[in-house]
Chain A
Amino acid sequence: MVTFNLLLNAVVTGILLGGFYAAVTIGITIAFGMLDIVNIAHPAFIIMGSFIAYIVNRTFGVDPILTVIVASPLFFLLGVAIFSFYHAAFEGSGKGSLRGLAFFFGMLFVIEVTLLLAFGVDYRLVQTSYIGPNVGFEHVDLPLRMVIPFVGSIALVSGLHIFFGHTFVGRAIMAVAQDEFALSLMAVDTVAIRQLAFGIAIATAAIAGGFLIVIQPVDPSLGREYIGRVFAICVLGGMGSIPGTVIAAFILGVVETITSTLVGPSWAPAVSFATLLLTLAVRPSGIMGR
């Protein structure tokens, strides 16, 4: 029976989830929306972050979110390395996008199987003080394990929004996103800028991975569920737009949770992908798209 209470909780949970989804997607907003790199392996990097948080938490008891924040510079460097390889191997050739796509698909696969071989198929979880307790308001019960990642996600996304809008480097990246050719004529090292941007994108994946394992247990193949989500949100939000990503993330989070509550959780994965298909069919430029 669907009560007001139930629905209210679903909506609020959906908003919390949506905030987290924004953090998950921002890496794609950067890589795909701004740099036109279809990094379909992005969710695999997130899962990698989750597993790193898991090991450190299990061995040393360190907080997962702290772990991934510390690990994010390493992921940044990894992103820089991957972009350098991608640029050298695939950009500039005529069929670059097809090959790049297949490259990242292969990478998604290799990462997933590596994690599978290393950790097995079981779900892993972390122990922290805030997994378990709820914070309650009237009518609404919020699990802390969702609130903390929500706050962290909003902080991350806001920080990046400020970075891209108001710092010199961030605006350079946006300029490259808009007209790389013009910039290269002005003697700007566009490759270095894009390396930087892609590094940031992968770093955000690590942080999102930390949030993820706080919210729910993680297994190596969980990334696949997220492929649809991140691209659905990115496209719905209007590609390179960060505010668009946030809005779309909230929409998806709420719709998924309500669907889950009303029809059952087994339908949830279809929601994001169906949203994606619908957006592509009806308004491919998204909400904030130009």
Chain B
Amino acid sequence: MTMQNLLEANSIRKSFGGFVALDAVDIAVRPGERVGLIGPNGSGKSTLVNCLSGAISSDTGTISFDGRAIERLPAYRRTRLGIVRTFQIPLPFMSMTVVENLTIPLRFAGRHHPGALTVVSDIEQALLILEDVGLRDKASESSARLTQVEMRKLELARAVAARPKLLIADETMAGLSHAEVDEIILLLLKLNDQGIAIIMIEHIMRAVIAFSQRAIVLVAGRKIADDAPDVVMNNAEVVRAYLGE
């Protein structure tokens, strides 16, 4: 039985002036799948995320999500359809409290999701999500005064509040301690249990291996591997890209 791809992006090309950031990249994700996206710095991972989420538009290529062509849609519409991304550097709404931060995606994205809960109030839904990520006791705190880990969790919580079908977690674990990384992995697994497909972009290899069902490797804007994590890790070209000749 073949499952239709949730996300299908073909031949994504993006250049900045003379610099080719993405060179005909294909990426597909099935519903509920856990995909790791890795590659050396500057390989185009962030550019790819930006193109998928709509922050920038690709030069050529098609992107379809849930059967719909989305390459012409502005970012906010893609979010409403269910593609949600977090930011490498957390971007909380600093004038708002933690729980208020979540009311924004709940109101503007979550509501457009078929089957969205409209009986329970936004604040209550927000508190439930905060409970899930472990930020419940910080709900009334100003979001400007959180620790690094807490900000990463808030990013994830905000993404969840948008009711994603596909969550792109952009280097959520960068710079965190061993225990904190485990926390985030568990969190992502929990979200995946709820049916959310996840693309994890990371440099922390043990996290990618532990989490992903499939790993995609980008080097210098090109996809050079797309297979089970252990296969990818033993791929000669991948090893070369990371460790050099």
Consider the complex of A and B and state whether they touch directly, i.e. have CB atoms less than 8 Å apart. Answer: yes
Residues of B within 8 A of A94 (CB): 94-95
- Tell whether, in the assembled complex, residue A290 and residue B94 are in contact, meaning their CB atoms are under 8 Å apart: no
| A267-290 to B contact mask, C-beta < 8 Å, 1/0 | 000000000000000000000001
Chain A positions 226-281 with a Cβ under 8 Å from a chain B Cβ? none
Q: Distance (Å) between the CB of B80 and the closest chain A CB?
A: 26
Q: Does B244 sit within 8 A of A, measured CB to CB?
A: no
Chain B positions 78-95 with a Cβ under 8 Å from a chain A Cβ? 94-95
Residue of B whose beta carbon sits closest to that of A94: B94
Q: Does B114 sit within 8 A of A, measured CB to CB?
A: no
Residue of B whose beta carbon sits closest to that of A93: B94
Residues of A within 8 A of B94 (CB): 94
Q: Using a Cβ–Cβ cut-off of 8 Å, how many residues does chain B contribute to the interface with A? A: 3
Q: Which 3 residue pairs of A and B lie closest in terms of their CB atoms, listed nearest first?
A: A94-B94, A290-B17, A94-B95
Of the A-B pairs whose beta carbons lie under 8 Å apart in the complex, a sample of 3, sorted by A's number, is A94-B94, A94-B95, A290-B17
Residues of A within 8 A of B17 (CB): 290
Question: What total of A-B pairs shows CB separation below 8 Å?
Answer: 3
Q: Distance (Å) between the CB of B60 and the closest chain A CB?
A: 21
| B85-115 to A contact mask, C-beta < 8 Å, 1/0 | 0000000001100000000000000000000
Tell me if B's interface is mostly helix, strand, loop or mixed: loop
Q: Using a Cβ–Cβ cut-off of 8 Å, how many residues does chain A contribute to the interface with B? A: 2
CA A290 – CA B19 in complex, angstroms?
Answer: 12
Q: Distance (Å) between the CB of B146 and the closest chain A CB?
A: 15
| A92-110 to B contact mask, C-beta < 8 Å, 1/0 | 0010000000000000000
CA A290 – CA B95 in complex, angstroms?
Answer: 33
Residue of A whose beta carbon sits closest to that of B144: A94
CA A253 – CA B192 in complex, angstroms?
Answer: 62
CA A94 – CA B95 in complex, angstroms?
Answer: 9
CA A9 – CA B77 in complex, angstroms?
Answer: 55
Residues of B within 8 A of A290 (CB): 17
| A73-100 to B contact mask, C-beta < 8 Å, 1/0 | 0000000000000000000001000000
CA A136 – CA B162 in complex, angstroms?
Answer: 72
| B13-39 to A contact mask, C-beta < 8 Å, 1/0 | 000010000000000000000000000
Q: Distance (Å) between the CB of A285 and the closest chain B CB?
A: 11
Q: Distance (Å) between the CB of B42 and the closest chain A CB?
A: 13
Chain B positions 1-58 with a Cβ under 8 Å from a chain A Cβ? 17
Q: Distance (Å) between the CB of B67 and the closest chain A CB?
A: 35
Q: Distance (Å) between the CB of A76 and the closest chain B CB?
A: 34
Residue of B whose beta carbon sits closest to that of A290: B17
CA A94 – CA B91 in complex, angstroms?
Answer: 11
CA A170 – CA B17 in complex, angstroms?
Answer: 25
Residue of A whose beta carbon sits closest to that of B95: A94
Q: Distance (Å) between the CB of A205 and the closest chain B CB?
A: 32
CA A290 – CA B17 in complex, angstroms?
Answer: 7
CA A282 – CA B94 in complex, angstroms?
Answer: 33
Residues of A within 8 A of B95 (CB): 94
CA A35 – CA B95 in complex, angstroms?
Answer: 26
Q: Distance (Å) between the CB of B4 and the closest chain A CB?
A: 40
CA A175 – CA B95 in complex, angstroms?
Answer: 32
